[in-house]
Amino acid sequence: MTELEQLTQLCARLGASPAQAAIMAAQLVKRADQLATERGVAREVALRGLLEVVVKGRAGEVPAAFTVAPPPPPAGP
């Protein structure tokens, strides 16, 4: 089974229709290649990060890399 087929199955298990899963899988592969080139990291590392975002997003969670610290409280009078 190819990587693309595995990713397509994963996306389908996460709730995407077969057509959507195929598109999502292709986009994940393409973006992982882009990130690996842009950031100089291994392609597997880039793909792992993207999959974390997908899985956590599906669960309604925000990955740690996307959390923003709350603004400081306003200064008192």
Q: Which residue ranges make up each domain of the chain?
A: 3-60
Q: What is the 3-state secondary structure (H, E, C) of 19-73?
A: HHHHHHHHHHHHHHHHHHHHHCCCHHHHHHHHHHHHHHHHCCCCCHHHCCCCCCC
Looking at every residue in the chain, the average pLDDT score rounds to: 91
- Residue 49 pLDDT greater than 90, yes or no: yes
Mean pLDDT of 41-46: 95
Contact 36, 42 (CB under 8 A): yes
- Alpha-carbon gap, residue 40 to 8, rounded angstroms: 26
pTM of the entire predicted model:
0.79
* End-to-end Cα, the chain, rounded Å: 65
